[in-house]
Amino acid sequence: MMADRRWRWFHRLGSPPHVYSLAGRLAPWLGWIALILLLAGVVWGLVFAPPDYEQGDGFRIIYVHVPSAWLSLFVYTAMAVACAVGLIWRMKVAFAAAIAMAPLGAMFTFLSLATGSIWGQPMWGTWWAWDPRLTSQLILLFLYLGFIALNRAFPEQQTGDRASALLGVVGVVNVPIIHFSVDWWHSLHQPATIAQFGPPAIDTAMLIPLLITAVGFKLYFLWLLCLQLRSELLYRERRASWVKAEAGKIST
Partner 1 sequence: MTPRRKRLFMVLGAVAGVGLALALALQAFQDNVLYYYSPTQVAEGAVPDDDRRFRVGGLVAVGTVERAPGDMTVSFELTDGRENIEVTYSGILPNLFREEQGVIAHGNFGADGRFEADEILAKHDENYMAPEVKDSLHETEWQRQQREESEGQGGYGEEY
Residue (52 or 246) nearer to partner 1, CB: 52
Give the three-class secondary structure for 52.
strand
Alpha-carbon 65 to chain mean position: 13
CB 108, CB 68: distance < 8 Å:
yes
Residue (203 or 238) nearer to partner 1, CB: 203
Please report how close the Cβ of residue 10 comes to partner 1 at its closest, in angstroms. Answer: 15
CB 76, CB 105: distance < 8 Å:
yes
Using CA atoms, how far residue 213 sits from 190, 202, 230, 246, in Å, is: 21, 15, 26, 36
Q: Phi-psi bin for 217: left (phi > 0), alpha (psi -120 to 50), beta? A: alpha
Please report how close the Cβ of residue 171 comes to partner 1 at its closest, in angstroms. Answer: 8
Ramachandran angles phi, psi of 56, nearest 5°: 65, -140
Please report how close the Cβ of residue 134 comes to partner 1 at its closest, in angstroms. Answer: 10
Residue (85 or 225) nearer to partner 1, CB: 85
Residue (88 or 245) nearer to partner 1, CB: 88
Please report how close the Cβ of residue 107 comes to partner 1 at its closest, in angstroms. Answer: 25
Binding residues vs partner 1 (CB under 8 A): 50-56, 58-59, 62, 84, 87-89, 122-126, 129-132, 166, 169-170, 172-173, 177, 185-188, 190-193, 196, 201-203, 205-206
